[in-house]
Structure 1
Amino acid sequence: MLKIDNINTYYGNIHALQDVSLEINEGEIITLIGANGAGKSTTLMSVSGVVPVRSGSIRFQGEEISGMDPDQVVTRGLVQVPEGRRIFPQLTVRENLDMGAFLRRDKAEIAKDLEYVYELFPRLADRRNQAGGTLSGGEQQMLAISRALMARPKLLLLDEPSLGLAPLLVQQIFEIITRINTEGGVSIFLVEQNAHMALKVAHRGYVLETGNVTLSDTAANLAADEDVKKAYLGL
């Protein structure tokens, strides 16, 4: 579904991603784990077109998308939930969700998707007329995920969805991520500092260290790997 082949991304003279390659098959949850500053968010932003790659290839469903603007990437069904949520704080919950469907014209299907996200996150239904900026951190994360779902993604890019959330909310968010994948049939590319939870829900994973992919395997094998345990699982 997504094939990243030897991409190199720079911030000025800083070589952030160095020949990074990975792939995601349809229906998979793939996680990318690594320390802060390893280049995880840069990988997602390179895929979504926010940060242009200098060389290498990114193909989505067989089509080359490197060099495309972010809005062109979104129209193809590849949607990112950014780190830090980045909702529209002055808009209501409902208006934020409408923004997620901005490029769509199928009103009947948009209405169905709206009901679907309200069913996933009943709190948002209760707060549909409340300004996004007045929501709690957990509710804002729910809104950010729901806004992305309103674009009806084929592949959902999730950047640190558990960041700053209480443990109970972290558990809830990861349960929803699994539901989106199994019930909704959405493939997921997950960047997550909480490696334990990420490997628990993912099918496969990659380890990124200072801009290089150093390890890839099934999530179960990565969770059992001694080096991964020491570096990322606190064991």
Structure 2
Amino acid sequence: MLELSNVDSFYGNIQALYDVNLHIDRGEIVTLIGANGAGKSTTLMTVCGVVQARNGSVVYQDEEITKVAPNQIVAKGVCQVPEGRLIFPELTVQENLDMGAFMRSDKEGIARDMEYCYDLFPILAERRKQPGGNLSGGEQQMLAIGRALMARPKLLLLDEPSMGLAPLVVKQIFEIIKKVNAESGTTIFLVEQNANLALKIGHRGYVMENGRIVLTDSCDKLLADEQVKKAYLGL
């Protein structure tokens, strides 16, 4: 579904990604782990077109999207839940979800997907008339994921969904990520510092250091890898 080949990305004159190669197959959960500043978020931004690769290529469903505008990439079925959630705090929960469907015109489908989001996140149904800014951090993360699902993505990009959340909420969020993948077949590219949790729900994983992919394998094998244990799992 997605392939990055020899990708270099920059912020001005500062290089953030070096010769990145990775692929994601349809229906997978693929996780990208690494330390803060390793280049994980830049990888997602490059897929989305917010940061354009200076060298190499990004191919989505056999179409090169390296130089395609971000809004056109969203229209093709790629949707990101950004780091820090970035909901619209003054809009209600329901209005935030509506914003996720702004490129759609199928009213019946939008209504069904809204109910699906409320089934996934019952707390959002209870608070549908409240401003998003009044929600807790965990509830805002649920809202950000729900908003992305309202776009009916084929490829869902999740950037640090556990950031700043209590362990019980993190566990709930990750269970829902697994459920969305299993029930709808949505392909998921998960960037996460909580390597232990990410590798437990993923199918395959990549390890990034200083803008480079340094290791890749099945998540089971990465969990058992001594180098990964020492560097990322605290074992």
TM-score between the two structures when normalised by the length of structure 1: 0.99
State the match for 1:195 in structure 2. Answer: 195
State the match for 2:10 in structure 1. Answer: 10
SS in structure 2 of the partner of residue 183 of structure 1: helix
User: How many angstroms apart in 2 are the aligned matches of 1:78 and 1:141?
Assistant: 18
User: How many angstroms apart in 2 are the aligned matches of 1:3 and 1:71?
Assistant: 19
State the match for 1:219 in structure 2. Answer: 219
Tell me the CA shift for residue 210 of structure 1: 0.2
SS in structure 2 of the partner of residue 97 of structure 1: helix
Aligned residues: 235
Q: Which amino acid aligns with 2:196?
A: H
- Percentage identity across aligned positions? 68
Q: Which amino acid aligns with 2:64?
A: E
Gaps of 5+ in 1: none
State the match for 1:59 in structure 2. Answer: 59
Two-structure CA RMSD over aligned residues (Å): 0.5
User: How many angstroms apart in 1 are the aligned matches of 2:130 and 2:5?
Assistant: 43
Q: Which amino acid aligns with 2:204?
A: R
State the match for 1:74 in structure 2. Answer: 74
Tell me the CA shift for residue 29 of structure 1: 0.1
State the match for 1:34 in structure 2. Answer: 34
Tell me the CA shift for residue 155 of structure 1: 0.6
User: How many angstroms apart in 2 are the aligned matches of 1:174 and 1:73?
Assistant: 25
Q: Which amino acid aligns with 1:17?
A: L
SS in structure 2 of the partner of residue 27 of structure 1: coil
Tell me the CA shift for residue 12 of structure 1: 1.4
SS in structure 2 of the partner of residue 59 of structure 1: strand
CA deviation digits over 1:64-97, x for unaligned, max 9? Answer: 1111111100011010000000000110000000
Q: Quick check: 1:179 aligned with 2:179?
A: yes
Tell me the CA shift for residue 63 of structure 1: 0.6
Tell me the CA shift for residue 208 of structure 1: 0.3
State the match for 1:142 in structure 2. Answer: 142
User: How many angstroms apart in 2 are the aligned matches of 1:121 and 1:52?
Assistant: 34
User: How many angstroms apart in 1 are the aligned matches of 2:213 and 2:159?
Assistant: 17
Q: Which amino acid aligns with 2:231?
A: A
